[in-house]
Amino acid sequence: MHKFSVGVLGASGYTGRELCGLVVRHPSLELSFASASSQAGSTLRIGKREITFIDSEDAPLGEVDLVFSALPHGASAIWSDRAARAGAKVVDLSSDLRPGNAHANGAPYGLTELMREQIRCASTVANPGCYPTAILIALAPLFKRQIVAPGTTISICAASGVTGAGFTPKPELLFAEIAEDFKAYALGNNHRHLAEMRTVMKGMNADNDLLFVPHLLPVARGILATITVALDHQMDNPLSLWDEDYGDEPFIEVTKDTPSIRDVVRRNVVRVSAIVAEGIRQPTLTLTAAIDNLVKGAAGQAVQNANLMLGIPETTGLPA
């Protein structure tokens, strides 16, 4: 079977390691290199295979079919550009190229289920942030139908496992600091993912403000977003909208029961539910959406996009 050769830039963090694991187990991809400049020479074990990190400067960008960049925000754009000039297709997992960010260059936004056709033809894709993946997949059926009450604020309370905060050691991420704790962060509504979500929403003609309060969970992986959204009219069976839009999607699960992180961990899925909030004068829905921040929220969706870009069946090599 033909295998496409791919490389991973920035392979030593949580997202990079997850990507390497997915690529190594992918039947149609071959891991050509994995770079981690600060740890060049050290190794990563995946099952029985050992991968040795190289310096990014030594990466043979021109010899692979596709490059994933999991380099840090701010450092990734230039490497994605280098890889593209060298002739590789590129999936950039940093925030650099995403809508609303400084380096955004018009590359299609890799929220696969909403952008499939653009991604298929793209040479570079800006892979979405973890929170936006869960939140925008949950909200899209409402924006598409223009039934959110205009001018209202959509209130989003979300919580992420600590791998979302990265692999760089900081005192506040030590086990003894995180265990048995829970807190909000980025209060004041200033999280980096907000610009991304606002820009994408504008493209969907949504006239709404976003209030976004992320929280840090004492779990390794997973995101749960709980979204309060006001409608312009009362609905009887809101879930039917998601069923209609996503019923055939292999990686979206619409459920009556509220999704939990456990349902989605290690899987490339968004699990979403919608329910009418009772006892409130303004017609209001509560949406809940769960993903694995490292899979559908990062490495898994990146592979899903790469599959499209390389002409491989979209679900190949992805745990559903």
The residues annotated with a catalytic role in the active site are 130
Instruction: Name the site residues for its own copies (rule: CB under 8 A).
Output: 14, 47-48, 151, 153, 155, 157, 159, 161-163, 167, 169-171, 173-185, 187-190, 194, 209-211, 213, 215, 217-222, 224, 226, 228, 230, 253, 258-262, 265, 273, 275-282, 284, 286, 288, 290, 320
Closest CB to its own copies among residues 123, 260: 260
d(CA 68, CA 53): 14
Query: In whole angstroms, what is the distance from residue 84 CA to residue 61 CA?
Result: 8
- CB nearer to its own copies: give 175 or 205: 175
Is 171 or 311 the residue whose CB approaches its own copies more closely? 171
Q: Which of 3, 25, 2, 4 is nearest to 299 (CA)?
A: 25
DSSP element (H, E) containing 153: strand 153-160
Which CB sits closer to its own copies, 119 or 147? 147
Count CB neighbours of 220 within 10 A: 15
Q: What CA–CA distance (Å, rounded) separates 7 from 10?
A: 10
Least distance between its own copies and beta carbon 312 (Å): 21
**What is the nearest approach in angstroms of its own copies to the Cβ of residue 60?**
28
Distance of closest approach, residue 6 Cβ to its own copies, in angstroms:
23
Instruction: Report the alpha-carbon distance of residue 258 to residue 288 in Å, rounded.
Output: 7
Contact 231, 147 (CB under 8 A): yes
Residue with Cβ nearer its own copies (123 or 189): 189
Q: Is 117 helix (H, G, I), strand (E, B) or coil?
A: helix
Query: Shortest CA distance to 217 belongs to which of 158, 287, 138, 166?
Result: 158
Closest CA to 213 of 147, 139, 160, 275: 160
Beta pairing class for 66-69 and 29-35: unpaired
Q: Specify whether the CB–CB gap between 162 and 267 falls below 8 A.
A: no
**Residue whose CB is less far from its own copies, 4 or 246:** 246
Measured distance CA(260)–CA(319) in Å, rounded: 17
> Token match 């900081």: residue?
170
